[in-house]
Amino acid sequence: MKRKSRRYKLLLAVHKYLGLVTGLIVFLVSITGACWAFQEEIMAWSAPEYRFDGLTHENLLPASRAKEIGEAVFPGREIHGALYSGPDRPVEVIFYQADPDFYRSAFLHPATGELLHTEDRLSGFFAWVLRGHMYLWLPPGLGSPIVKYGVLVFLLILISGVLIWLNGKRRQLRVCWKPTTGWRRKNYDLHSIGGVYLGAFALLFALTGSVIGLPWFYNLTYQALGGEGDPSFVIPENVHPAPAGTPFSPAYDELVPRLMAEEPEATGFELHYPRTDGASIYVEVERHPGTYYASDYRYFDQYSLEEISSPGVYATYAEADLAKFVLRLNYDIHVGAIGGFAGKLIAFLASLLIATLPVTGLLLWYGRRFKKPRRMPPGPLKLPA
């Protein structure tokens, strides 16, 4: 009994002090995560709506022309790719670079290339939310490690919390309050019982967040699932050398129309321009809007358009083994998109409720730390003899 008591006290100490250290991190990351849940739906609702009738994939703006127009709109900036969402939707030329931060899009008419509008992805409410979620609005070099390792510590807090509940004398799963129940007891029940019910969601968010944020955790997860080879994003090299003696005309202008004809059920084709003469072109083929796990990542020689296989996690969906499939699912699970609207609603509500755990935990510590001594009722009045 004494041995168990020591173990129990150690678990309580670990849970309490780690919780006090990371409580604010967990609170802010949970609140911003809840705000992010319906980001795509809200952004789509508020964005300008363009529809163009009478066009086919044969009339599409060539990818090389989309690149030229984009470079004229944002000169000197690095183009990430061009997203074709069908002949009736604008072509989105995406610009992204990390240093200095630049993330914008230029939307072009799918046939003429006329500039329709531009969008700054680093401004607005959701960009502000994402900065808070990823690095607490601090400089990224400081805030990012705080969030990443704070979430990792949260995993230890969750595990210690479950062990405390299992080792406790009263393993309650429902609230039993009476009119005489004080606020400390109510707060304790909210923290302990709420933690049990929310534990699975919190564990899922923390694990998937750690896979996203920590490369070593990503690699460890891949290996633990039996994955072999390189788990990173691998863009293969060309299989043919650049043609010599004649000016080169980009072959990738033919690529998107060809893929649209081959895969009419796909909803988007994001072409990424090769960064070097030796790199292949890769095209992300979107199959389910709002999710990423089922997308195909296809690679083509930039001179011959011969398709090339990739040894990395991100290749065709049909080639994914268990380890690659789980890593593909990771982001969609993290944001709840894997369950569609219902999944995002669950992620939203769970994130909000998880944000209450550090609050009730702090109140629990405060109530015990600054507990007022109980006043004893006065005894019977004694008369002198």
Q: Over 70: is that where the pLDDT of 210 sits? A: yes
Phi, psi at residue 123, to the nearest 5°? -125, 165
Q: Over 50: is that where the pLDDT of 1 sits? A: no
Rounded Cα distance, 259 and 309, in Å: 16
Task: Identify whether the C-beta of residue 234 lies closer than 8 Å to the C-beta of residue 310.
Answer: yes
The pLDDT value recorded for residue 252 is 85
Q: Over 80: is that where the pLDDT of 214 sits? A: yes
Write down the pTM of the prediction: 0.86
Query: What percentage of the chain exceeds 90 in pLDDT?
Result: 57
Mean pLDDT calculated for residue range 121-131: 94
The pLDDT value recorded for residue 204 is 95
| 77 Cβ contact list (under 8 Å, min separation 6) | 71, 95, 97, 102, 104
Could you identify the residue written with the tokens 């293969």? 236
Question: Within a 10 A sphere around the Cβ of 262, how many other Cβ atoms?
Answer: 9
Rounded Cα distance, 137 and 25, in Å: 12
Task: Identify whether the C-beta of residue 307 lies closer than 8 Å to the C-beta of residue 289.
Answer: no
The conformational region for residue 270 under phi > 0 = left, psi -120 to 50 = alpha, else beta, is beta
Q: Over 80: is that where the pLDDT of 61 sits? A: yes
Mean pLDDT calculated for residue range 10-20: 90
